[in-house]
Amino acid sequence: MINTIEPIINQFSSISLIEMNSVSLMKRTDTKFVINKYQLAIVLESIKNNYKVLEIDANRIMSYSSLYFDTLENKFYNDHHNGKKNRTKIRQRKYIESDLCFLEIKQKNGKGETNKSRIQVNDFEKDLTNISKEFIANTTNKEYNLVPSLWNGFNRITLVNLASKERVTIDLNLSYNINDVKKEFENLVIIEVKQERFNRKSEIIKSLKSIRQNPYSISKYCIGMISLYNDLKYNLFKKKLIKINNTIA
């Protein structure tokens, strides 16, 4: 997929990581879309004059690796599946090109807002250090017995709107694994538009609408979990799996 997208991405103006900090949007509204790799080329071509692309050491398509944590009872997964409004995701994420690794906590409230907190760690911790455990406890105000639940890898393109405070992440080549069980979604693209509040006049949202794509709630974590674990309740996610399979067919 990268070979077909790279020529278009190279037509975008670039922005550095330092410059992008002004639109970090740690508190934000996230709006997701699910498309396939062929539609991505159409969208990128239509918005190339409205966004800058993050560039690090001449790379515009970055590699990410994540290790998610959950309880033995899969509380975070089940909270999402059961539609709980206030929910948490905990992961460690490595930004390969930057050689940076963070422990990240995403907390969603009943208003649809996402708060993200993070601290830098040396590398992935299959056994969380005391510092990491303390950060989690202080941030969530709860004590969890956490274990690794899912590895996730993907490539990401990050765009920054030239005219408004908006970031866009485009995730492709998604893969998952745990305990030697693997699943890949190489034709799937997940676009996430991050704004202070939802703005339907955003150029990328208008572009997606032009190809008849509407916002679609989806969790990379939950899709990975039901792809690798056979004993999880997932009846409320069946439509999402059908949507994904139809999108990448």
pLDDT tens-digit series, residues 93-109: 999 988 899 999 999 88
What was the pLDDT predicted at 247?
86
Predicted local distance difference test score (pLDDT) of residue 1: 62
* Neighbour tally for 111: CB within 10 Å: 9
| Model pLDDT, residue 26 | 60
pLDDT band at 150 (very low <50, low <70, confident <90, very high): very high
**List of domains in the chain:** 2-248 (2.40.320.10)
Q: What percent of the chain has pLDDT over 90?
A: 73
Band of pLDDT at residue 228, cut at 50, 70 and 90: very high
Residue 8, amino acid? I
Cβ 225 vs Cβ 65: under 8 Å: no
Tens digits of per-residue pLDDT, 168-224?
Answer: 999 999 999 999 999 999 899 999 998 887 888 899 999 999 999 999 988 999 999
Instruction: Find the mean pLDDT for residues 139-161.
Output: 96
Dump the DSSP string for 71-104: ETT-HHHHHHHTT-SSEEEEEEEEETTTTEEEEE
Q: What is the pLDDT of residue 200?
A: 83
Predicted confidence band of residue 248 (pLDDT cuts 50, 70, 90): confident
With cut-offs at 50, 70 and 90, classify the pLDDT of residue 239. confident
Please determine, for residue 23, whether its predicted confidence score (pLDDT) is greater than 70.
Answer: no
114 neighbors 107 (Cβ within 8 angstroms): yes
| pLDDT value for 25 | 61
Least confident of 19-23, 28-32, 245-249: 19-23
The set of residues, in sequence order, having a beta carbon less than 8 Å from that of 179 and lying 6+ positions away, is none
Question: Could you read off the pLDDT of 25-68 as tens digits, one per residue?
Answer: 666 788 999 999 999 999 999 999 999 999 999 999 999 999 99
Q: From CA 175, how far away is CA 212, in angstroms rounded?
A: 26
Q: Does 127 score more than 70 pLDDT?
A: yes
What is the distance between the alpha carbons of residues 69 and 66, in angstroms, rounded to a whole number?
A: 10
* Residue 111 scores a pLDDT above 80: no
